[in-house]
Amino acid sequence: MCCMCYEHNVYRELWEKLPNPGTKIKTPGGNVVVSGVEVHTNNVRCYIPSRGEIRIPIDRFAEFKETVVSGKDWIIEEE
């Protein structure tokens, strides 16, 4: 059986947990828009009107969303 059959299930499960590109997150400072998902780098790209596009690690996206919805700034940590 082709390896794509196995990969399809992995990607399907991953995408179920991720936002779709174009998703809008309403915040007190305006809408944040999900501009893309980079599965290969484990990042979600979001456009914030006051800051431009930023990348959020997939495993921290829920925390990011909760933070910006509450009106707080998302602090990008230095690696």
Output the tens digit of pLDDT for each of the chain's 79 residues: 566 666 777 777 777 778 899 999 999 989 999 999 998 898 999 999 989 999 999 999 999 999 999 999 998 764 4
| Per-residue confidence (pLDDT) for residue 9, from 0 to 100 | 76
| Per-residue confidence (pLDDT) for residue 3, from 0 to 100 | 64
| Entry pTM | 0.78
Strands 52-57 and 43-48: antiparallel
What residue spans define the domains of the chain?
Answer: 19-79
25-45 per-residue burial string, b: 16 or more CB within 10 A, e: under 16: bebeeeebbbeebeeeeebbb
Report how far residue 28's alpha carbon sits from residue 41's, in angstroms, rounded to the nearest whole number. 29
